[in-house]
Each structure stands twice: as structure tokens, then as C-alpha cells.
């Protein structure tokens, strides 16, 4: 049996605006195991992004408990949260969010630099991952010099370069054409199967849902369906 | 990598960065120009004060400064002068005898300060000797010739070749008189000097007041630069003690001038602080705008594991680069300006109606800039520190970024 990576127990996320309370998540329960390739689906406003924010320690729940790799996130200090994100979680954003002043190589290297990986090891790892994502020949380019799909490949490289236990991907194919989206999904699938990286997507994209081996459906902040493909 | 990122971030908005650099460079230039000009001005004032009589520093009998009496003398002055001349930064030293008394003719009498000098040794260092407008300077150390101020000459109706009587007290307190013949008249522009000073041969005055040939009232010490005054003063104090004398700086000898310069410097510091604060406000604006435009980027950095401390460091490094480049540009712009102000100087006399006198010194209105490394280092350090201070708040804001708020997406 695979190790449990994420465990959300009765999690609420409430946004308060004056006297009005909005439940982004309500009594959400979710577990993710190592090596899963899971899609979090649901209409806009269903709480997908909020769930990813909470698991990624970018936000904190109003109620309930989230455990990532055995650590209760509610007990972590701000610097411990940053360390946890750096060491164990990778992020892929819809808008790529590469650092514009860094080259493709440096963007992929960024997390390794934060982790304090020595230069020779860093170089080997970055070149290996750029090779996997097919961007090794464009290592010196800046983000504005490559296409959106290529930027997302670099973002994937950045997310997995640090060998995280979990990669959180928010609508990773939303801003690219279908051919590029297929390529990105192939890439993430390959990283999942070959490197054992756990992926959790939030998505509307039927292609992502088609590829995912587990689909968790959210509606009004609550899990309404959780199915594993055979 | 942070240093590299900071450098590249600096050039993301080239126009804004260039404008800020121009502001830093201009502020630095203004501050440096003002400082080197003021240092030149003060230096000339101090040099003029030294040449007015007392030197950059003065060796006098103990207690003479507070209670001048003819009985207080420095013994063995040639020995003391030899010691003084061996001291670093000393360019010249001259012994003098000073006596207070009266000068009189058949027409009138007036209070007078009589300064006994060795004309050959003094050359034209003494300001008065350089401003003889009638007749000639002293020619020997022992004759009964004298230089008188033009206002005294007018009051006593003295002309070249006329004789007058000086009355003073000798070292034992007895009233003594002597007869001097006017060989020259000087006009320094300082009324007090032109009205009351008589310059006579040192041996004549020694004989009049009963001093031995090796005794004097004062040793005026001239330095290669006034900035060494305190150090030389300290190093000569022991030698002076052996002769029952003390070393006094020009600040002690001419407190009015010292006060005037201190006041003027305080005004300069205020003005420069104001310039620095303006620079600081400009930099704060630039860095803050740069930070506010990149909150999303900081959110990403924090999301992928960068610590708030490192984000803070990144902004501070950007500010650091801004300061380094700004100061380099400022220095490059300031060098030719300094060169011009030093080589060609500035003549302020067309702006002044009359001769300017301050603190008992005639001001030379042709001013050349002077470079004092310590002052320029202070400007470098001060501007750089303020630039870094300007970066603190934006850096704090960047470090406090909450990824979830700035990205609106994981």
C-alpha cells in the first residue's frame, strides 16, 4: 500500500465579508497517496483552487486539519511552511509564472538553489529535467523568448526539479492549445510513472480528466464524487 | 543567484532606473561640489588666519592666552623651533615677541599691539608683510624701523620716515618707551589690524622689553595642511611643556573664526541632509513602485519556497545595486566638476561690493575647491546608507507578500 501524502479532515474555508460568510470549502475530506495522478474537478467557484491553496500551504483553513507527509500544517511556523513548500511541494500555475529575469535554465534551477543543492549536482539535475521536458536546447532563453507551451514545460521542470513528494497543478493546460496540452499531459504522466511524482490537478479540461487515474469532484466546497479509474 | 537577479531586476524598467540614477548622481554631485568648495573656502580662511599672525598653531607661554603678561616668555626658542621643524607636516616656524602698549606722536596717541618679527625668516608669510602699500618692509632684526597700519598712520599723521614713540611694559612690569621710524604702511582690510598693529624688528622689541636673545612670546607654526592641526598640536604639546609653553590650535587662538566656520558647516550639513533626504524619497518611490508591480512575482517566489528573508534580501540587493551604480555615476560626474573648481576656481568678488572680513580675517573671494578624502568618504557612506534605508520599507512589503492574495491562483 502506498504512503499517504495528503490528508484533509473536515476542512472548512470561510471568507468573511462584513457580516456575510462564504463557504469556499465545507467539511471537505480528502486523502492522496504517493504516486497518484488525480484531477480535482468541478465548476467555477466549487473550491478547487481553494483546496490546492490549502494543501500547498499558501492559505490556512478556517476549521479542520490538513496533514501533508505526516506534518499537521496548522502547527507550522511561516518559515517552516516555506521550508515545507520548498522541500516537498511543487507548483504549476495556469499562467506559468516563470521569473522573467531568469533564463529557462535558471528558472528550473531556482528551487534547487533555494534548497541549497551544490552547483555541480544542481547543474546535472537541471539539465536532466530540461532534457525530459524538451527544453534543454533553449536553456539560455528568457521566458519572453519562448512560447506559452514551452513556458509551461519550464514551469513543470521547475516544479519537479526539486524532487517534491507532491506537485499541485492549477489548470495547467488552460492557456495552451490542445496539441500543446496533450504534450504537457504526456510529460506529466511520464514524470508520474517514471519518477513516481504525485500530481494533483485542478481542472476543467476534459483531456486532463481523461488522463487522470482518479477524479475528485467538488461542488459548493464539498466532495460530491471520488472515483478511481480501473 | 540573488545578486544576479537583483542586478537584472534593476534594468527591467530602464527609464525609471536611469532617472533614479541621475537623481542619485546629481545629489552626489551637488553634495560633493558643495563640500569641496566649502573645504576650499574654509581652508583659505584658515590659511589666511594663520598668515594673519598666529600660524596654524601657536606655542605660547603657559597661561599667556588667558592672561597675557610681558613676564611670560618661552625660553630657548631656537631649541624649541628645531624640535618643531622636525615634526611631521610642519612647514615653517617663526619666533615672535608681542607687546601691548601705546603709540604716540605730537598729534595723537592710540593703543597698539607691537609685533616683533624676524623679517628675513618670515619672508612674506605674514599677511601684513604682503600688504605694505607705502614704503618698504623691514630690513633687519634690530633696527628701529616699523610698519604701521594705514588707519593708525592716518590717526597719528605718520608718514614714511616719521618717528613715533611706543610705550609698553617690560618683563618686570616697568614702563618703557622706544622710538621707531616708519618704514612702511600696510593695509590688510581688517580695520582692527590696520588701526592698532605695529610690526617692528624682533631684536629691537626684545631689547625694549628686556628679553634675552633666545626668548620670545610666541612661536607661530605653519603646516602643510590645516587638517593636521590637532595631530601636530598633540604631538608638540610635550616639547612645549619642556619650555613651559603650550601648543594652541588656530581654533583656540581665533575662536571667532572657528565659531564662524562651525556655524557655516552646520548650515552645510543641514543643506546636504536635505539633499540626501530628497534623494532618499526618490529612491523609496522607485523601489516601492518596482515592488508593487511585482507582488505576484514575489508571491510565486514565496510559493515555491523562497523565505520572506530572502525576498527581503533580494529587494535590498536591488537597492544596493542602485546605490553602487548611482554613486559610481555620481563620482564620474563629480570628478570633472571638482577638477574645474580646483584648477580654475571661482571668483566671487564680482558678487561682493566690498572686501569681506569675517572672524578677523580678510576673505579671499577667489575660491578653489579642495579635496578632503574623509569628507568625500562621508558623503559616499552617507548617501549609500540612506539609499539602503530607502529600500527597507519596500523590502519589508515584498517579504510580507501573501502568495494567495497576490496570485489569486494557487
Q: Which residues of chain A are modeled with pLDDT < 70?
A: 1-2, 230
Q: Averaged over B284-307, what is the pLDDT?
A: 89
Nearest-neighbour CA in chain B from A110: distance (Å): 8
The per-residue pLDDT for range B369-407, each reduced to its tens digit, is 888 888 899 989 988 999 999 999 999 999 988 887 776
Asked if B307's CB is within 8 angstroms of A79's CB, the reply is: yes
A111–B305 CB contact, under 8 Å? yes
Torsion sign, CA atoms B190, B195, B196, B197:
positive
Confidence of residue B320 (pLDDT cuts 50, 70, 90): very high
Average pLDDT over residues B323-351: 89
Cross-chain residue pair A58–B9, CB shorter than 8 Å: no
Binary contact (B304, A58; C-beta < 8 A)? no
Mean pLDDT along residues B345-361? 73
Contact between A101 and B407 using a beta-carbon 8 Å cutoff: no
CA-wise closest residue to A112 among A100, A130, A94: A130
- pTM exceeds 0.90 for this model: no
Calpha distance B300→A93 (Å, rounded) = 9
Q: What pLDDT sits at residue A187? A: 81
Q: What is the pLDDT of residue B116?
A: 93
| Residue B316 CA from chain centroid, whole number | 37
Residue B359's pLDDT is what? Answer: 64
DSSP symbol at A2: P
Chain B nearest C-alpha distance from A60 (Å): 10
Q: How far is B393 from chain A (nearest CA, A)?
A: 20
Nearest-CA residue of chain B relative to A80? B307
Residue-level pLDDT at A131: 86
Chain A residue with CA closest to B410: the answer is A53
How far is it, in rounded angstroms, from Cα A98 to Cα A138?
Answer: 14
Residue A2's pLDDT is 66
Angle, CA of A218, A163 and A201, to the nearest 5°: 15
Instruction: Please say whether the beta carbons of B165 and B103 come within 8 A.
Output: yes
Size of interface A-B (CB pairs under 8 A): 79
Question: Between B5, B306, B410, which is nearest A49 by CB?
Answer: B410
User: Rounded to whole angstroms, how far apart are CA atoms B73 and B214?
Assistant: 10
Determine contact: A106 vs chain B, CB below 8 A: yes
Strand order in the sheet with A166-170: A89-92, A166-170, A198-203, A37-41, A214-219, A222-228
* Helix (H) and strand (E) counts in chain A: 7, 10
Chain B interface disruption, residue of A51, A91, A160, A166, most B CBs within 10 A: A91
Q: Which of A82, A113, A115 to substitute to test the interface with B, most B CBs within 10 Å?
A: A82
CA B372 to centroid of chain Cα atoms: 10
| Proportion of chain B above pLDDT 90, given as a percent | 40
Q: Name which of B300, B307, B404 is nearest A97 (Cβ-Cβ).
A: B300
Confidence of residue B347 (pLDDT cuts 50, 70, 90): confident
Indicate the pairing of strand A166-170 with strand A89-92: parallel
Across chain B, what does the average pLDDT equal?
Answer: 88
For the segment B128-187, what is each residue's pLDDT rounded down to a tens digit?
888 899 988 888 777 889 999 999 999 999 999 999 999 999 988 899 999 999 999 999
pLDDT tens digits, A36-95: 999 999 888 888 889 999 999 988 899 999 999 888 998 988 888 888 888 889 888 888
Dist CA B202 CA B200 (whole Å): 6
The pLDDT confidence band at residue B360, using thresholds 50, 70 and 90, is low
Give CA–CA dist B219/B233, Å, rounded: 13
CB contacts, 8 Å: B409 with chain A: 49, 93-95, 170-171
Beta strands in B173-324 (DSSP E): 175-186, 197-201, 218-223, 245-249
* Closest alpha carbon to B310 in A91, A86, A52, A68: A86
Are B176 and B209 spatial neighbours (Cβ–Cβ below 8 Å)?
A: yes
At B396 the pLDDT is 94
Radius of gyration of chain B (CA): 31
Residue range B28-38, pLDDT digits in tens: 999 899 889 88
From the number of C-beta atoms within 10 Å of its C-beta (0-12, 13-18, 19+), residue A178 rates as exposed
Residues of A in contact with B407 (CB under 8 A): 58, 93, 97
Q: Is the per-residue pLDDT at B409 higher than 60? A: no
**Nearest-by-CA chain A residue for B296:** A97
Q: Which helix (H) or strand (E) element contains residue B375?
A: helix B373-399
Q: Do B410 and A202 touch (CB under 8 A)?
A: yes
3-state secondary structure of B361: strand
Q: Count how many Cα atoms sit within 13 Å of the Cα of residue B131 in the half-sphere of its side chain.
A: 18
Pairwise CB contact (< 8 Å): B404 & A79: no
CB < 8 Å to B402, chain A: 58
User: What are A178's three cell numbers?
Assistant: 490542445
Residue B195: pLDDT band with limits 50, 70, 90: very high
Taking residues B339-351, what's their average pLDDT? 85
Reply yes or no on whether the pLDDT at B123 is more than 80. no
Contact A94 B409 (CB under 8 A): yes
Q: Which residue in B8, B304, B308 is closest to A111 by CB distance?
A: B304
| Local confidence band at B410 (pLDDT 50, 70, 90 cut-offs) | very low
Across B326-342, average pLDDT: 93
* Confidence at residue B129, expressed as pLDDT on a 0 to 100 scale: 84
For testing the chain A interface, which of B1, B14, B304 should be mutated: the one with the most A CBs within 10 Å? Answer: B304
Min distance A99 CA to chain B CA atoms (Å): 7
Inspect the interface and report whether the beta carbons of A114 and B8 lie closer than 8 Å: no
Of B291, B340, B277, nearest to B319 by C-alpha is: B291
Q: How far is A121 from chain B (nearest CA, A)?
A: 16
ipTM of the complex: 0.86
Q: What is the pLDDT of residue B353?
A: 66
| B363 DSSP 8-state letter | P
Phi, psi of A10 (to 5 degrees): 50, 55
All three cell numbers of B242, joined, read 619642556
Amino acid at each position: 500500500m502506498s504512503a499517504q501524502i495528503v490528508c484533509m479532515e473536515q476542512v472548512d474555508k470561510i471568507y468573511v465579508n462584513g457580516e456575510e460568510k462564504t463557504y469556499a470549502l465545507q467539511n471537505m475530506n480528502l486523502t492522496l497517496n504517493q504516486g497518484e495522478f488525480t484531477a480535482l474537478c468541478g465548476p467555477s467557484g466549487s473550491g478547487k483552487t481553494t483546496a490546492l491553496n490549502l494543501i500547498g500551504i499558501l492559505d490556512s483553513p478556517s476549521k479542520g486539519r490538513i496533514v501533508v507527509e505526516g506534518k499537521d500544517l496548522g502547527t507550522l511556523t511561516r518559515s517552516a511552511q516555506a521550508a515545507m513548500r520548498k522541500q516537498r511541494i511543487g507548483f504549476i500555475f495556469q499562467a506559468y509564472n516563470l521569473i522573467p529575469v531568469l533564463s529557462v535554465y535558471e528558472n528550473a534551477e531556482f528551487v534547487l538553489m533555494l534548497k541549497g543543492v551544490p552547483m555541480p549536482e544542481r547543474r546535472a539535475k537541471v539539465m536532466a529535467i530540461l532534457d525530459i521536458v524538451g527544453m534543454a536546447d533553449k536553456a539560455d532563453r528568457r521566458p519572453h523568448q519562448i512560447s506559452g507551451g514551452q513556458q509551461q514545460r519550464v514551469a513543470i521542470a521547475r516544479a519537479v526539479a526539486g524532487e517534491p513528494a507532491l506537485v499541485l497543478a492549477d489548470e495547467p493546460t488552460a492557456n495552451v492549445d490542445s496539441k500543446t496540452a496533450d504534450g504537457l499531459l504526456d510529460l506529466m504522466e511520464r514524470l508520474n510513472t517514471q519518477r513516481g511524482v504525485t500530481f494533483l490537478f485542478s481542472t476543467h479540461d476534459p483531456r486532463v480528466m481523461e488522463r487522470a487515474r482518479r477524479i475528485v469532484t467538488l461542488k459548493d466546497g464539498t466532495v460530491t464524487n471520488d472515483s478511481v479509474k480501473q | 543567484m540573488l545578486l544576479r537577479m537583483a542586478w537584472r531586476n534593476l534594468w527591467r524598467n530602464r527609464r525609471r532606473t536611469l532617472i533614479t540614477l541621475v537623481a542619485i548622481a546629481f545629489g552626489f554631485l551637488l553634495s560633493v561640489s558643495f563640500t569641496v568648495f566649502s573645504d576650499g573656502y574654509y581652508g583659505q580662511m584658515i590659511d589666511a588666519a594663520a598668515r594673519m599672525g598666529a600660524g596654524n598653531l601657536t606655542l605660547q607661554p603657559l597661561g599667556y592666552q588667558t592672561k597675557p603678561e610681558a613676564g611670560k616668555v618661552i625660553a630657548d626658542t631656537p631649541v624649541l623651533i628645531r624640535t618643531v621643524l622636525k615634526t611631521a607636516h610642519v612647514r615653517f616656524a617663526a619666533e615672535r615677541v608681542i607687546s601691548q602698549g601705546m603709540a604716540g606722536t605730537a598729534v595723537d596717541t592710540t593703543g597698539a599691539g607691537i609685533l616683533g618679527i624676524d623679517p628675513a625668516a618670515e619672508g612674506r608669510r605674514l599677511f601684513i608683510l604682503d600688504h605694505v602699500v607705502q614704503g618698504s618692509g623691514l630690513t633687519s632684526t634690530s633696527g628701529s624701523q616699523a610698519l604701521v597700519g594705514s588707519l593708525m598712520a592716518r590717526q597719528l599723521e605718520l608718514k614714511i620716515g616719521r618717528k613715533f614713540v611706543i610705550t609698553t611694559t617690560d618683563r618686570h612690569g616697568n614702563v618703557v618707551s622706544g622710538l621707531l621710524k616708519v618704514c612702511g604702511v600696510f593695509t590688510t582690510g581688517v580695520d582692527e589690524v590696520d588701526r592698532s598693529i605695529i610690526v617692528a624688528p624682533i631684536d629691537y622689541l626684545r631689547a625694549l622689553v628686556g628679553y634675552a636673545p633666545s626668548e620670545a612670546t610666541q612661536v607661530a607654526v605653519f603646516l602643510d595642511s590645516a587638517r593636521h592641526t590637532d595631530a601636530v598640536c598633540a604631538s608638540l604639546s610635550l616639547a612645549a611643556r619642556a619650555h613651559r609653553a603650550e601648543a594652541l590650535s588656530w581654533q583656540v587662538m581665533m575662536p571667532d573664526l572657528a565659531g564662524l566656520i562651525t556655524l557655516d558647516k552646520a548650515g552645510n550639513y543641514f543643506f546636504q541632509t536635505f539633499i540626501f533626504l530628497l534623494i532618499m524619497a526618490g529612491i523609496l518611490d522607485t523601489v516601492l513602485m518596482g515592488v508593487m508591480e511585482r507582488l505576484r512575482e514575489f508571491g510565486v517566489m514565496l510559493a515555491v519556497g523562497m523565505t520572506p528573508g530572502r525576498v527581503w534580501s533580494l529587494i535590498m540587493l536591488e537597492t544596493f545595486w542602485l546605490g553602487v551604480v548611482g554613486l559610481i555615476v555620481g563620482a564620474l560626474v563629480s570628478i570633472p566638476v571638482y577638477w574645474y573648481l580646483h584648477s580654475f576656481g571661482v571668483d566671487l568678488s564680482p558678487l561682493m561690493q566690498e572686501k569681506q572680513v569675517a572672524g578677523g580675517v580678510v576673505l579671499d573671494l577667489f575660491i578653489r575647491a579642495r579635496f578632503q578624502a574623509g569628507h568625500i568618504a562621508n558623503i559616499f557612506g552617507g548617501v549609500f546608507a540612506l539609499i539602503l534605508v530607502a529600500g527597507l520599507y519596500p523590502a519589508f512589503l515584498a517579504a510580507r507578500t501573501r502568495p494567495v492574495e497576490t496570485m489569486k491562483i494557487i
